[in-house]
Structure 1
Amino acid sequence: MRGPDMVAPMTVYLLLDEAWNINGRIFQVAGGHVGLLQDMYPPFKNIYKHGKWTLDELRMLVPQQLMAGVQNPAPPAEDLQVPGRG
């Protein structure tokens, strides 16, 4: 299960307004594995499923599991209007 079609859902997720607070991070995406890298390798946190992720699954699991408790190393300025920021 390799190929760009397996990476595309995570790429699209990171382009969504709701992912506004994710920046300065490196992700490893292969098959059904999505990992958040801290010091390059091995992944610091990861989520896995057999098969290709859907955008809806990533919208639910990335904030709740993969990014839970992870600080943004370079957040946008407070006075900057950012789509998705509540």
Structure 2
Amino acid sequence: MLDIKDDGRGVSIRVKVQPRASKNQVAGFMEGAVKLRLTAPPVEGEANKACCEFLAGLLGIAKSRVEITQGQTGRNKTIRIEGISADAVLKKLGG
């Protein structure tokens, strides 16, 4: 199950990123976090950019509404998503 915090204006979720995967995909849930496989390499912010773009596309929202608030240099991240409810995120991610 996904560990998600809803504050009425948006949500915060935890994400575990696996860079340099064969394709971009949600690989399930792990310890309350969404596991994402991304094709981007973990250099010069490429994986972070790909993470935000992938989540925005998956959730059907603008890229500007997705922000990494913790974990810019690690695989474990906290993502802030504006303008969406926890229920909508859970529905789209299957959590």
After TM superposition, the score normalised by the length of structure 1 is: 0.32
Q: Which has the higher strand share?
A: 2
Q: Which has the larger radius of gyration?
A: 1
Q: Which has the higher helix share?
A: 1
After TM superposition, the score normalised by the length of structure 2 is: 0.30
